[in-house]
Amino acid sequence: MLPRIVAALIAAVFAGSAHAGPMMKPGPAPESSLSGTWRVIGAQAAPWARQRKLTKADAPLLEYAIKLKDGTVEGPPPFSCKDARYTEGVSTHDELFGGKLKSDKDFTLAKRIGLSQGQIDTERVICNGRIFDFYFTDNAQFVLGMGDVIYTLEQPTGMEPDQYKGFSGPGFDCAKATATLDRLICLDADLSKSDRRLNANYRALKASVSPESFATFQAAQRQWLAYMKKTCHADVPYPDFVGDRNMIVGCLEGAYSDRADLFEGLKGQTAGALKLEPRIRSRVRYAPNVVESDIYPFMSGGPQAAAFNAFIARTMKLDRWRMDDPDVIPSDDDAGDIQLYTWRSYGVARFDGRIVSFLVSTDDFAGSHDARQIAGTTWDVAKARVVTLADVFAAKADWKKALLPYCRNSLHKQFEDRQVPDLDPAEIEATLSDPGSWQWGRNKATVVFWVDLMGGMPGGEFDVDIPYRMLKPYLKPDAPVIPS
């Protein structure tokens, strides 16, 4: 959409800047007040034009970011420029937007877009003959006129490199944002990025699972959004005071990023007629303030599914809630207004109709501590039972002795980067002996080591990949994990 309107925007810029006041001699460097990254956070009909609700087509630059630096402007057309010149000066009220506010004698229209009476500090950018006039507002923002649209630009903090230019908005149209929650997401670069990532993960999930499974995520997401609005106080009219807005944004930032992480990579998988896909159950509680998100695998498409689903329901205890377990969320933990959470999800190493090898991860934040755990399971689909190490390795094979030095060397290289002390041989052997530490992929097995980190940090996951060619001498000929 953007390239089709570039010519019109360029013409609008010329028209809106033709009568700006006297400027300093242009140079290659922008003034400090303009230098850096700016996000287009707002768009409204110009005060001299017919007032209407804008659409994305009316304001195509909304939710984009630009970066102004020595000699260049990085961003979408028509801003992009490799030979930029910068100058500054002041504009009188009569000169603003090419004289469009001359009739605004009482400054009513100017105040509507944050410009006070008198002389307005103006930063001008000249890109290959094109002129952009940025007017400094009373709120330490800039406004820029293009045709009958006024854009508001704000300089954010903490933007990632991939947000320095181009689209920087959330997963919804900010031109339609009216609720406090949506407006604040549109204004904040980090929140916008998390919402965009969450939206992409949500759409990818929808495309890969059945309507029945996706319905569980729809219900959970509606519940989570209502919970976030209430607990972050985003269910109120839009706050006038910036401190109040920042408090809400601060509450939302971590929650949205964590939610995007929770949905990352979730998808349905098929093996013949069988399908394995995620489902979620969700619950919130306001006293104490806890949200639970529990994602579990669900199989369909054949008679083998019933035994697997019964196993999942039994071992993951789907008949009860983890937030009610005092070992997960202690009832006497005085967390005050802190948001607590307990979430569980899983990742599949292999699903081929013969086995399902998956890893269940939990993360429970109870205010005073953050507990994380992982546990692996490999399920024999045909025999409807868990695969043990005795099912995999030959009885007389001394596989632990052979694998121990390989694992020790691999872990040592990983530990050096994290400043984690090496495990002793007994600890490595204990992990190798635990069937829950093994994940059986198509071309390799992975042994998952869960190690307590230094400084009171939650446990860390360290994986050792072992190719099947190395394991082959020690495997039973009919081991169910051997790829067909």
What are the structural domains of the chain?
2-168 (no CATH), 169-267 (no CATH), 270-386 (3.30.565.40), 399-474 (no CATH)
Confidence of residue 2 (pLDDT cuts 50, 70, 90): very low
* Confidence band of 9 (pLDDT split at 50, 70, 90): very low
Give the confidence band of 286 by pLDDT, cuts at 50, 70, 90.
confident
Please report which confidence band the pLDDT of residue 384 belongs to, taking 50, 70 and 90 as the band edges.
Answer: very high
- Is the model's pLDDT at 456 over the cut of 60? no
Q: Given a cut of 80, is residue 199 above it in pLDDT?
A: yes
Strands (E), 20-171: 36-45, 64-69, 72-74, 84-91, 120-127, 130-136, 142-146, 149-154, 166-167
- With a cut of 70, say whether residue 327 has pLDDT above it: yes
Q: Give the angle 123-65-15 at the CA atoms, nearest 5°.
A: 45
Residue 288: band (very low, low, confident or very high) from pLDDT cuts 50, 70, 90: confident
Which one has a higher pLDDT value, 388 or 147? 388
**What are the residue ranges of helices labelled H in 158-291?**
180-187, 189-208, 211-231, 242-263
The pLDDT of residue 79 is: 82
Mean pLDDT taken over the chain: 89
Q: Is the pLDDT of residue 11 over 50?
A: no
Question: pLDDT digits over 160-171, tens only?
Answer: 666 667 888 999
**Percent of the chain's residues with pLDDT above 70:** 91
DSSP string, 347-363: EEEEESSSEEEEEEEEE
Please tell me the distance from the alpha carbon of residue 264 to that of residue 267, in angstroms, as a whole number: 9
pLDDT(224) > 90: yes
For the cut 90, the answer to whether the pLDDT of residue 403 exceeds it is: yes
**Spatial contact of 158 and 190, defined as CB atoms under 8 Å apart:** yes
Closest CA to 259 of 191, 194, 171: 194
- pLDDT recorded at residue 295: 98
pLDDT of 451 > 90? The answer is no
CB atoms within 10 A of CB 477: 6
- CA dist 97 and 147 (Å) reads 9
Mean pLDDT, rounded, for 332-339: 66
DSSP H or E stretch at residue 391: helix 389-392
Kindly indicate the confidence band of residue 266, based on its pLDDT and cuts at 50, 70 and 90.
very high
Closest residue by Cα to residue 190 from 133, 275, 249: 249
Residue 18 — very low, low, confident or very high, per pLDDT cuts 50/70/90?
very low
Q: Which pLDDT score, from 0 to 100, does residue 17 have?
A: 47
Judge whether 26 and 130 are in contact, CB under 8 Å.
no
**pLDDT tens sequence across 31-49:** 988 998 899 999 999 999 9
The pLDDT assigned to 253 comes to 92
What are residue 303's phi and psi, to 5 degrees?
-65, -20
pLDDT at 7: 42
Residue 416 has pLDDT above 50, yes or no: yes
Report residue 244 as tokens.
């109040």
147, 146, 148, 121: which is closest to 64 by C-alpha?
Answer: 146
pLDDT digits (tens, 9 = 90+) for 156-197: 866 666 666 788 899 998 988 899 999 999 989 899 999 999
Using one digit for the tens of pLDDT, what is the confidence trace for 79-130?
888 899 999 999 988 899 989 998 888 888 998 898 987 789 999 999 888 8
Q: Is the pLDDT of residue 13 over 50?
A: no
